[in-house]
Amino acid sequence: HNERRPEACPECGTLDHLVACGPGVERIAEEVVAHFPDARTIVLSSDLLGGVRRLRLELEAVANGEADIVIGTQLVAKGHNFPGMTLVGVVDADLGLANGDPRAAERTFQLLSQVTGRAGRTGKKSLGLLQTYQPDHPVMRAIVSGDSEAFYEREIAERERAGLPPFGRLAGIIVSAATRAEAESHARGLRRAAPQASDLFVLGPAEAPLSLIGGRHRFRLLVQGERRADMQGFIRAMLAEGPKLRGSVRVQVDIDPQSFL
């Protein structure tokens, strides 16, 4: 389901004033400065003005204790050591669970473990705060309890029940084109050309989560099957029987994909 953004505010009728306003690091920084005007605040993001050199300087400043509050993207979770940090807060901690990636729970658990692990590394008393709309989700319960073994046992059981890797096979087929109609038409043609098989089936096509990249519209099909299924042969036959590449259409095949975007 999708709806176009209205041109006027449905409440007051003002035109051209509805814009996306999410919890980005810049907006969070504005609110932090308003609440804690005397604190030394640093914003860490891969798209900082000044590029890699400035980012390196900011990271060194944090490590040296020259900041009271650090606001950052996932970047702050990756391999940095901030010895003075004793409090970590994560805004929209369950955001990563809301996509079609079969590894979403695993990736979110890994990321939250990393980012909350930034606090208290030197043995000081520390606290991690997670903002979530799903406090009973297995990922959130595992983070709070610290029971990673129970989480992974459950994740393995879920994957085995669903026939997902490593207990089954997956292949992603991305169809892209200069227009949405071209991409969708070709993807539907491939779906119709899929051979009959008892151990393999096709999901889609549907718009890819990143539906427009570099001016090209993208549709995705997902082939799922048993571990011993002839995935390559199935896709080879599907491509051979499907519509021929014309115009701006391109087809990309990804066996056992690591990304579902």
Q: What is the pLDDT of residues 166-224, one digit of tens each?
A: 899 999 999 999 999 999 999 999 999 999 988 999 998 999 988 999 999 999 999 99
Give the C-alpha separation, 117 to 112, whole Å: 8
**What pLDDT score was predicted for residue 157?**
92
Q: Which CATH class is domain 168-255?
A: alpha beta
pTM: 0.69
Cis amide linkage into residue 205, ω under 30° from 0 = yes
Ranges of beta strands (E only) in the chain are 41-44, 69-72, 87-90, 127-130, 168-177, 200-213, 216-226, 250-255
Map out the domains of the chain as residue ranges: 25-160, 168-255
pLDDT tens, residue by residue, 85-109? 788 888 888 888 876 678 888 888 8
pLDDT at 79: 61
Supply the pLDDT for residue 1: 78
CATH T-level topology, domain 25-160: Rossmann fold (3.40.50)
3-state SS class at 187 = helix
What the block records as the tokens of 226 is 């048993």
